[in-house]
Amino acid sequence: MAGNEALVVRRSENARIRAELAALDELVGSRPSEARRRAHELQQQAEALSDVGAVACALIWQAEAAGREGHQATAVELIDRSRELGIELEPELVVRSEWVMSRVQNDLGDQAAALDRVMDAVAAFGPDVSRRLRTRVMLTGADLLDDLGARQDSLIWYSRAEELADTDIHMRIMVANNRAYGSLSAGDTADAEAQAQMLIELSRKHNRPLNAGVLDTIANVHLLRGDARAAVETAQQAVDATGQMDTKVADAPPEYLLTLAVAQRSLGEPAEAALTLKRARAACGPEGHGRMKVRILEQEAEVLAALGDFEGAFHAYKAFHAADRDLLSAQREAAARSRQTIFETDKAREEAARYREEARRDPLTGLHNRLFVEERLNRLLETAGTLGVALIDLDHFKSVNDSFSHEVGDEVLRVVARVLQACVAEAGGNGSFAARLGGEELLIVTADAGRGAREVAERARTEVAGQDWSGLTPGRVITFSAGTAVAVPGDTRATLLSRADAQLYEAKSAGRNRVRGH
């Protein structure tokens, strides 16, 4: 009873951890630092319970939070750690990890590579992937296509994202906001205005106040239309609403102040713009915000010139150009570090995958080995609809080595292995494979295949016996015996192979060169 109670408690804890990880979806956007800390705590709890799937989920949440905070190299390292856990990630986590990587690549300025990651994420879509995550992926793809100049394609993706958002008003507002921003960048006044109007209507219809980011977009739409007064009013609302933002990024407060300053200058209020720019500069703080500081300096030069302070404007321009050079240098250095991290982790992952594959291959025949069989057969017993095995033993193989040499015996094994591989491939089946268990003992596994293990083994036996062996073993035809079995409910790897082994014994007792079993 105590053991059962402990199991119930363990399952309850696993469920709690996974529920709390799922709840981070909102927190990671609004308070990434807090989400990252909480995800790390849940990771440690999951590790204590050996819940590897939850550990992977926690690492991916930390990666997304790190990326939102601007720590791109850290995000890459965390994603890589989630992939090194040696498990097959759930579809939701596959999509999220690719989406996070696309954001990293985009932040590094490589939109083409970012779009490739989006395409990989889309390829992993399925019914188990949440609609909200699919919407975000489609929205990221739309933004990237817009940045890459594929305007018509981006509009199609924005429409698909809107369809996916459906009744999720939070996501519909996000889609309309991003599309409006893209239209602003493209100078598409009509679409920018249409999206801004949609944002206002969604807010009114669903009694949902527009957040600071959306208000900033609408203010920029007003600027594009030349309505400076409306731009000032809306930009001021964005600044006032900064504390209630749904999704926070470090540059947001100074960004909204900068929009307000530009609107004030456009309205002919350079003195007010100068004060707002001072607030924007203060909002940047002493560290980071390199890109934003450059934009603020550029606007300060314009505003000082409008105020007649030409000396101040000259110095501001000098500071702007110096900051621009420093920013470019810093961006290049950061991009180089992050790309090196990506290169190193990708290379390490490729090498790990190669070593893993080599450790599960027989070096002589190229077939899978016993380690692979132990891992894969257990999994197939849980997942395959139909599963059959054929245990194979070459007839009188010791005499082949004794009569013709071990080198000839090795080549015989290679020939037989090629025949088995061809017959398994012809039979089909997603999980079917051939393996060498050791010596002259081989195995065929058919999973959800067009032909069962017995039929595949019989075909392979006929082809092996029909080979022209005169070049290798003159006067000697190579044959094998096989025993087959079909998995039934409750089977383990041991019980299934034991039944096949019993049938192999029957085949040998009956005269060899034959297949016995079901």
Express each pLDDT in 363-408 by its tens digit: 889 899 888 888 889 889 888 889 999 999 999 999 998 999 999 9
- Mean pLDDT, the chain, rounded, equals 84
Look at residue 248 in the predicted model and tell me its pLDDT. Answer: 46
Boundary-marking domain end, from 310, 328, 359: 359
Q: What is the pLDDT of residue 14?
A: 86
Q: Three-class SS of residue 471?
A: coil
Residues 354 and 421 in one domain: no
Is 337 a residue whose pLDDT tops 90?
no
Q: What is the mean pLDDT of residues 298-306?
A: 79
392 in the same domain as 263: no
CB within 8 A of 187, min separation 6: which ones? 224
Q: Is residue 327 over pLDDT 50?
A: no
Looking at the fold, whether 339 and 392 belong to one and the same domain comes out as: no
- The string of pLDDT tens digits covering residues 70-114 is 788 888 899 988 888 878 888 899 999 999 998 888 877 777 788
Averaged pLDDT, 266-276: 89
What's the pLDDT score for residue 57? Answer: 92
| pTM score, whole prediction | 0.54
Give residue 116's pLDDT.
85
What pLDDT, on the 0 to 100 scale, is given for residue 104? 86
What pLDDT band is residue 233 in, cutting at 50, 70 and 90?
very high
Give the residue-averaged pLDDT of 180-186.
84
C-alpha 328 chain-centroid distance: 29
Structure confidence at residue 78 (pLDDT)? 92
Write down which residue in 292, 324, 359 finishes a domain. Answer: 359
CATH for 384: 3.30.70.270
Q: Tens digits of per-residue pLDDT, 473-492?
A: 999 999 999 999 999 998 99
368 three-state secondary structure: strand
Count of domains forming the chain:
2
Q: Decide which of 359, 393, 425 is a domain's last residue.
A: 359
> What does the pLDDT read at residue 353?
53
Output DSSP code: residue 408.
H
Rg for the chain, CA atoms, rounded:
32
Domain that holds residue 382: 370-517
Domain CATH code at residue 343: 1.25.40
Residue 411 and residue 324 share a domain: no
How many whole angstroms separate alpha carbon 63 and alpha carbon 82? Answer: 10
Higher per-residue pLDDT: 127 or 330: 127
Give a yes or no: residue 276 inside a domain.
yes
Cα-based distances in Å from 277 to 260, 265, 281, 310, 365: 9, 11, 6, 17, 72
pLDDT value at position 243? 58
| Same structural domain, 384 and 423 | yes
